[in-house]
């Protein structure tokens, strides 16, 4: 007997899911142990021209009726956004359907409600496609590493911003020129806010942190900074020092392991770091675990077909579970670790200052760092006269101490401008 799949959304991802379910029908049936059949596709408007070669009789605008239909076994949600996705997923679960979703925003905003509904109804909830597209990451983290202790997850999880930063690095382009190119090529949306301001990466970081640390994390727990203020000068000066600027999502335990931080911000990483070689719109995620050591996962983080690949893998898993009368792993939040405030995050910093060219300037600047217990690793003076610049790289210090230092520097008469402050990551990686 066929298992019936209801699809919510028929856009870039949904149309690929339909195509692959059709083209790979025989393989999917063999792998599941039963054929998969498309029961219906919920869309906003019926008339629209679509990429997908879908029987018009399957289309419906009544998503709520579709997800509660008696003959539907699995609901696949690829609409995105909070509503109506949440209402539809909850309705599906309350009708006993298992759910596959690619919805990072919803899981990061209100995962607790969705997971609770899955548990209450004995329904499966799979969401591999929500983070880093085709790259298997959720399953390795919550299953392969279930016997390990994850210290840190550090990755490039947004293809749009990686494309922009990569272009700025390779061509010297400004942020706005690189963004325009990304938009022309379809890597960035007309309104790029969700990507360039880090919202998309923050949602993924929240999901990854929750799984890695067996705790509940929401998007609101994530410290978030975007890349709109990165200048061509920042990129060039990083390059000159052997670094590249990437937008990183970092989930890291505190040194005592009893809390963790989750943050998304641009950071300088050494060009020798494996993440530095991640070009264009690719994604890559480093995972550091106590026994496994350092692992890296690399691949296409977005796009219709790659995301559909992850969705289909989840559909197969859910379908196998249904046939076996079982469920996949539930949400695991038993550790209930606290998310520490950004001020407690410890990392290194690259600080660039416009300073007056007077004797004793360096000593006074160094003194301001020392006052906050921020130790300086290297300092370089560039130019002179009105163009004098100090470039400092610190040892590890807390974000709070660094912020206090910067506040202090801004008030010094000899400091004309704090030109840039950027975190430095990945120096202890291979």
Residue 421 CB, nearest distance to a second copy (Å)? 30
CA distance 282 to 259: 30
Decide: is 245 part of the binding site for a second copy (CB under 8 A). Answer: no
Out of 12, 84, 241, 297, point to the residue binding a second copy (CB under 8 A). Answer: 297
Nearer to a second copy by Cβ, of 51 and 177: the residue is 51
- Identity of the residue, 215 or 405, whose beta carbon is nearer to a second copy in the bound complex: 215
3-state DSSP assignment of residue 165: helix
316 binds a second copy (CB under 8 A): yes
Q: Minimum distance between the CB of residue 108 and a second copy, rounded to whole angstroms? A: 21
Distance CA(64)–CA(92), nearest Å, equals 8
Is position 385 an interface residue for a second copy (rule: CB under 8 A)? no
Contact positions with a second copy (CB under 8 A) in 10-49 = 16, 20, 24, 27-28, 30-31
Element (H, E) at 300: strand 293-300
Binding part of the chain for a second copy, among 47-55, 201-209, 316-324, 421-429 by CB under 8 A, reads 316-324
Nearest to 78 by CA among 159, 160, 21, 162: 21
130 in Cβ contact with 80 (< 8 Å): no
Q: How many residues bind a second copy (CB under 8 A)?
A: 61
Catalytic residue among 4, 104, 167, 204: 204
Q: What is the 3-state secondary structure (H, E, C) of 17-63?
A: HHHHHHHCHHHHHHHHCCCEEEEEEECCCCCCCCCCCCCHHHEECCH
Which listed residue (185, 335, 338, 370) binds a second copy by CB under 8 A?
335
* Shortest Å, Cβ 84 to a second copy: 26
Which strand (E) or helix (H) includes residue 245?
strand 243-253
Structural tokens at position 159:
């293809």
What order do you get walking across the sheet with 36-42 strand by strand? 59-60, 36-42, 3-8, 74-77, 98-101, 125-126
d(CA 29, CA 65) in angstroms, rounded, equals: 26
Judged by CB under 8 A, which stretch of 160-168, 237-245, 290-298, 350-358 contacts a second copy?
A: 290-298
Tokens of 211: 């799984």
User: Of the ranges 37-45, 102-110, 308-316, 408-416, which one interacts with a second copy (CB under 8 A)?
Assistant: 308-316
Q: Residue 306: phi, psi to the nearest 5? A: -60, -40
Contact in structure between 328 and 390 (CB atoms under 8 Å):
no
- Which has the closest alpha carbon to 37: 58, 53, 16? 58
Quick one: how far is CA 19 from the chain centroid?
27
Q: Which is nearer to a second copy, 295 or 418 (CB)?
A: 295
Task: Identify which of residues 78 and 397 has a Cβ nearer to a second copy in the complex.
Answer: 78
**Minimum distance between the CB of residue 214 and a second copy, rounded to whole angstroms?**
7
- The residue among 165 and 422 lying less far from a second copy, judged by its C-beta, is 165
Residue environment code for 373-382, b if the CB has 16+ CB neighbours within 10 A, otherwise e = ebebeeeeee
Which one of residues 15, 160, 309, 405 is an interface residue with a second copy (CB under 8 A)? Answer: 309
CB of 354 to a second copy, least distance (A): 38
Q: Does 92 bind a second copy (CB under 8 A)?
A: no
Sites for a second copy among residues 214-233 (CB under 8 A): 214
Active site residue 239: no
CA pair distance 401, 261, nearest whole angstrom: 16
Residue placing its CB nearer to a second copy in the complex, 143 or 407: 143
| 269 part of the interface to a second copy, by CB under 8 A | no
Binding track over 114-133 against a second copy, x by CB under 8 A:
--------------x-----
What are the distances in angstroms from CA 6 to CA 26, 120, 210, 267, 313? Answer: 19, 21, 28, 41, 16
x/- map, 128-157, a second copy, by CB under 8 A: x-----xxx--xx--xxxxxxx--------
Strands 243-253 and 150-156: antiparallel
User: What 3-state DSSP class applies to 283?
Assistant: strand
For the bound state, the minimum distance from the C-beta of residue 292 to a second copy, rounded and expressed in Å, comes to 4
Q: Please name the helix (run of DSSP H) or strand (run of DSSP E) that holds residue 369, with its range, or none.
A: helix 361-371
Only one of the segments 87-95, 232-240, 329-337, 338-346 lies at the binding site for a second copy (rule: CB under 8 A); that segment is 329-337
If the CB atoms of residues 87 and 326 are measured against a second copy, the closer one turns out to be 326
The residues assigned a catalytic role are 204
Give contact residues for a second copy (rule: CB under 8 A): 16, 20, 24, 27-28, 30-31, 128, 134-136, 139-140, 143-149, 214, 274, 277, 279, 282, 289-300, 303, 305-306, 308-317, 320-321, 324-327, 329, 332, 334-335, 430
């Amino acid at each position: 007997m066929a298992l019936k799949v209801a699809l919510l959304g028929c856009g870039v991802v949904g149309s690929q899911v339909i195509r692959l379910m059709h083209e790979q029908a025989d393989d999917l049936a063999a792998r599941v142990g039963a054929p998969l059949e498309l029961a219906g596709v919920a869309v906003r408007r019926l008339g629209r021209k679509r990429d997908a070669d879908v029987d018009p009789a399957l289309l419906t605008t009544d998503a709520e009726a579709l997800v509660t239909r008696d003959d539907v076994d699995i609901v696949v949600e690829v609409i995105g956004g909070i509503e109506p996705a949440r209402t539809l997923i909850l309705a599906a679960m309350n009708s006993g359907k298992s759910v596959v979703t690619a919805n990072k925003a919803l899981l990061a905003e209100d995962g607790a409600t969705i997971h609770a509904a899955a548990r209450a109804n004995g329904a499966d909830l799979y969401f591999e496609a929500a983070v880093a597209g085709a790259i298997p990451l959720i399953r390795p983290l919550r299953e392969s590493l279930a016997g390990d202790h994850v210290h840190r997850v550090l990755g490039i999880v947004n293809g749009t911003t990686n494309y922009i930063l990569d272009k700025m690095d390779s061509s010297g382009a400004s942020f706005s020129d690189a963004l325009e190119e990304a938009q022309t090529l379809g890597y960035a949306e007309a309104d790029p806010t969700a990507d360039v301001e880090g919202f998309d990466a923050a949602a993924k970081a929240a999901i990854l942190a929750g799984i890695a640390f067996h705790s509940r994390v929401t998007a609101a727990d994530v410290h978030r900074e975007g890349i709109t203020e990165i200048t061509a000068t920042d990129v060039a000066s990083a390059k000159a020092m052997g670094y590249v600027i990437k937008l990183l999502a970092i989930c890291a335990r505190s040194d005592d392991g009893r809390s963790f931080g989750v943050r998304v911000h641009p950071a300088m990483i050494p060009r020798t770091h494996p993440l530095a070689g991640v070009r264009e719109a690719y994604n890559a995620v480093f995972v550091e675990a106590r026994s496994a050591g350092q692992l890296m996962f690399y691949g296409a983080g977005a796009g219709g077909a790659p995301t559909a690949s992850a969705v289909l893998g989840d559909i197969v898993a859910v379908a196998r579970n249904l046939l076996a009368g079982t469920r996949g792993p539930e949400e695991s939040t038993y550790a209930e670790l606290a998310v520490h405030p950004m001020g407690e995050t410890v990392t290194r910093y690259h600080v660039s200052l416009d300073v007056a060219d007077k004797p004793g300037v360096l000593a006074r600047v160094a003194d301001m760092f020392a006052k906050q217990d921020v130790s300086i690793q290297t300092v370089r003076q560039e130019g002179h006269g009105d163009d004098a610049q100090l470039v400092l790289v610190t040892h590890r210090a807390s974000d709070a101490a660094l912020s206090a230092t910067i506040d202090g520097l801004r008030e010094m008469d000899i400091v004309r401008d704090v030109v840039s402050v950027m975190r430095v990551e990945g120096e202890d990686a291979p």
